[in-house]
Amino acid sequence: MSKPVSLSLPAPRRRLISLPRLPLTSAIALVVLVLIIGMAIFAPWVANHDPVALAPAFRLKPASAEFWLGTDAYGRDLFSRIVYGARISLTVGVGVTVMSILIGLPLGLMAGYFQGLDALLMRVMDGLMAIPGILLAIAIVSLSSAGIWTVMIAIMVPEIPQVVRLVRARVLSTREEPYVEAAVLMGTSTLKILTRHLMPNTLAPLIVQGTYICASAILTEAILSFLGAGIGTEIPTWGNIISEGRVYFQLKPSLVLWAGLALSLCILSINLLGDAARDALDPRMKKRGAA
Amino acid sequence: MLGYFLRRVLAAIPVMLVVALFVFLLLRLSPGDPAAIIAGDMASPEQLAAIRESLGLNQPLYRQFFVWIWQLLQGDFSTSLMAHTPVLNMIGQRLEPTLSLALVSIVFTILISVPLGVLAAWKHGSWIDNLVMSTSVLGFSIPVFVIGYVLITVFALELKWLPVQGFRSISDGLGPFAQRIVLPALTLSSVYVALVARMTRASMLEVLGEDYIRTARAKGLAEGHVLFRHALRNAMIPILTVIGTGFALMISGVVVTESVFNIPGLGRLIVDAVLARDYPVIQGMILLTSGVYVVINLLIDLSYAISDPRIRY
C-alpha cells in the first residue's frame, strides 16, 4: 500500500444554466424575444399610429417615413398593427402554456401514481390525442364566440394530453426510486410524496415542453386567424393581418410577409430558447455535447 | 402475433369511443341550443323541431349518445347543411386531392429528413449538424402559410416554372398532376421534415451512445454499416412513432396548405364547413380524421415488430 488516497473532493457546483456558455444563437434568440415582449408591453409608445383607425385616403401606401411598413387595404399603418399584434400572440402563447401545465401537471402526477386512475385517465388522453388539434380547436371556436378566451381554451385542450403524458412518464420512472420507497415506508403523506418527491423531477422536462407549447400556441392562433376561425378581425393579430393581406398578396406581398416575419421570428426565438433549455437541463445531452 | 394484433385492435375501440364522446359533448355542452347549431342560422321553427326530434334532445343524455353512436355505426353521418348531401359522400368526393397531397408529402419527408437526421447525429456538433438543426428549427418555426406564399412568389410568380394554384387528378396525366402537387407537397412537408429530422437525429444520438455501437466500431465494421444496420434500425421506433403522431401535424398542414393553394380537398371542406357553421360536416371530419389517426398508429405499432426483432408478443 502506498500513501492513503484523499477522499475529500471539491463540492460539485450545481448550476442550472451556465450563462457564460450560452450559445450565440440562444443569445440572439433571447434578445429578439425580449424586443418582441418589450414591443408588446409598450405598444402604445412603440406604435406611431392607431392600429385600428380606418383611413381610406391612405390605402395601400408604400413604406415611408410616415408609415414605416406602408399601410393595408383599409389605410391602417402596418407597423403599428404588427406591434399591437405581438400582444395577442404573446398573451395566447403564455396563457395557453400556463393553463395547460396547471391542468396537465396534477393530472399527470395522479395518473403516474394511482394505477387505477391511470388506466381511465390515459384512455381519455389517448382519445383526446387522436383528435387532430387544429380540428378540435376549429370546432371549439366555431361553436362559441371568437373571443381571446375561446381561442386560448380551444388551443389549450389539445395540448393537455402532451403535458399529462410527459409528467406521467416521468413519475412512472421515478416512483420506483429508493428515496420514494423510503418516503412511502416512513409514512409520508401521498400529497407530500407527489409534490415534494415526484413533482420536482418533472419540472425540467416541463420547462422544455412549456416553451414548445408556447411556440405551438402562437402558431395555432395565427393559423386559426388565417383560416378565419380565430379572434375577431377587429383586433389586430398577426394571423388576421396575414389573412387580410393575402387578398392583395400579388399586388403587395409585404402585407403578408412582414407579419409572417414577425410571427416566424417570435416562434423561432422561443423554439431556440427551448432547445437551449433542454440542452442545459438534460445532463445526458450535455455529456454528449462535451464528447 | 395474431393475439397481439387482436388486442391492439380491441384497445383502439375505447379510444374511438372517447373521441365520439368528446365530439358528442362538444355540441351538447356548448352554450346555445344544439338543434340551432346543427340547423344553422337560416332554419325555420319547423326545421328546428324536426332536428330536435331526430337528435332525441328530449331524451336523457346517455340515451342520446347511444342513439347517435348506433346511427354512426350504420354509416349515418348525417347530412351537410351547405350541400344537402350526406356527409360521407362529401368526404368521399374530396378524398383524392388530400390523399395525393399527403402521400407525396410523406415520400418527400422520408427522402429528405431521415438521411439528414442520420447525418446530423453522425457528425454531431459539426457544422453539418448545426446546419441541419437550424434548418429544422426554421422549418418548425416558419408557419406553413408563410412558406407556401414564399414558394408561390419564387417558383410561380417570379420564375414562372409552376402554376400558382389548383389541383389536377393523376388521371389527367402525370405531368399536370406533378406540376401542381410539387409546391403544396413541399409546403406541407416543411414542418414534417423538421419534426422527423429532429427525431431521427435525437434517436440516433441515443443509440450511437450505446455500448453495442462501440463494440461494432471496435470490431472494425464499416461506418455505413454501423450507422444504418446497427444504429438506424434500433433508432427506428421513435422515428416511426413521430411519423404516426405527426399525422395530427399533417392534418393542420393540410388544412392550411389547401387554403393557400386552393386545392379542393378535405382541408378546404372543413374550413368551408367552419365558416358556414356546418356542424354535421365538422363532426364527421373530426371522427374520420381521428379514426385514420388511430388506424395509422395501430399499423405503426404493428410495424415495430418488423423494425425491431426484440419486440415479440
- Assess contact for A151 and A232: CB atoms under 8 A: no
Report pLDDT digits (tens) over B257-294. Answer: 998 888 888 888 888 888 777 778 888 888 888 888 88
Indicate whether A94 pLDDT > 90: yes
Indicate whether A106 pLDDT > 90: yes
pLDDT of residue A288: 40
Indicate whether A15 pLDDT > 70: no
Indicate whether A96 pLDDT > 70: yes
Beta-carbon separation of B294 and A130 below 8 A: yes
Which residues of chain B fall below pLDDT 50? Answer: 313
pLDDT classification of A163: cutoffs 50, 70, 90: very high
Residue B127 CA: distances (Å) to CA of A114, A289, B103, B123, B243: 46, 14, 32, 8, 26
Beta-carbon separation of A256 and B289 below 8 A: no
Q: To 5 degrees, how large is the angle CA B301–CA B303–CA B306?
A: 135
- Cross-strand partners of A71: A77
Other beta carbons within 10 angstroms of residue A152's beta carbon come to 22
Which of A120, A142, A211, A224 has the most B C-beta neighbours within 10 Å, making it the best mutation to test the interface with B? A142
d(CA B154, nearest CA chain A) in Å: 12
Identity of the highest mean pLDDT range in A251-255, A257-261, A279-283: A257-261
d(CA B290, nearest CA chain A) in Å: 5
d(CA B295, nearest CA chain A) in Å: 10
Q: What residues of chain A lie within 8 A of the CB of B244, using their CB?
A: none
Residue of B nearest to A252 (CA): B153
Q: Which three cell numbers stand for residue B85?
A: 348531401
CB within 8 Å of chain A, chain B residues 63-122: none
Higher pLDDT pick, A153 / A246: A153
Indicate whether A129 pLDDT > 90: no
d(CA A189, nearest CA chain B) in Å: 33
Residue A39 CA: distances (Å) to CA of A46, A90, A265, B71: 6, 11, 13, 53
CB within 8 Å of chain A, chain B residues 136-165: 137-138, 140-146, 149-150, 153, 157
pLDDT of residue A286: 45
pTM score, whole prediction? 0.82
ipTM for the complex shown = 0.77
